[in-house]
């Protein structure tokens, strides 16, 4: 996901309600973007299943397809699904977070809780 797509998602999360194209655009940093540019960005996010398009009369409103945490977890799952060796990816991930004892403890707690019947 590009920086502008991430900023658009952030804008939608902060709004807490579906927004129109102009409303999304008004909340972004930097120079104003053309309506067609914003439509292209939102369409890409819809195609990536990160944003849903809601009919609203003759226009559309847009809202995220989940919370930041849900979409991040879905992205991680997709990386694992498309990896040749998901176990190796998980091992590298654990190696990379091993220097954070609190995060490692939380991960271990989550794994233990999910493994319980």
CATH code, domain carrying 18: 1.10.10.10
Query: What are the residues facing 44 on neighbouring strands?
Result: none
Which of 40, 64, 88 is at the close of a domain?
A: 64
DSSP for 27-74, written as a single string: T-SSS---HHHHHHHHHHHHHTTSEEEEEETTEEEEEESS-HHHHHHH
* Owning domain of residue 97: 68-115
pLDDT at 1 over 80: no
Check whether residue 73 and residue 100 sit in a common domain: yes
pLDDT at position 48, please? 93
Total count of domains within the chain: 2
Check whether residue 57 and residue 74 sit in a common domain: no
Check whether residue 58 and residue 93 sit in a common domain: no
The pLDDT tens digits of the residues spanning 18-34 come to 999 999 998 788 888 99
H or E element that contains 76: helix 68-82
Check whether residue 28 and residue 75 sit in a common domain: no
Both tokens of 19, joined, read 């927004």
């Amino acid at each position: 996901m590009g920086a502008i797509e991430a900023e658009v998602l952030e804008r939608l999360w902060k709004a807490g309600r579906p927004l129109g194209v102009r409303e999304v655009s008004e909340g972004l940093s930097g120079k104003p973007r053309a309506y067609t540019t914003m439509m292209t960005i939102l369409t890409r996010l819809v195609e990536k299943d990160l944003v849903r398009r809601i009919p609203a009369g003759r226009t559309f409103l847009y809202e995220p397809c989940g919370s930041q945490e849900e979409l991040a977890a879905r992205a991680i799952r997709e990386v694992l699904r498309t990896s040749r060796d998901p176990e190796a990816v998980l091992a590298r991930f654990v190696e990379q977070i091993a220097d954070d004892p609190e995060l490692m403890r939380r991960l271990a707690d989550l794994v233990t809780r999910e493994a319980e019947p």
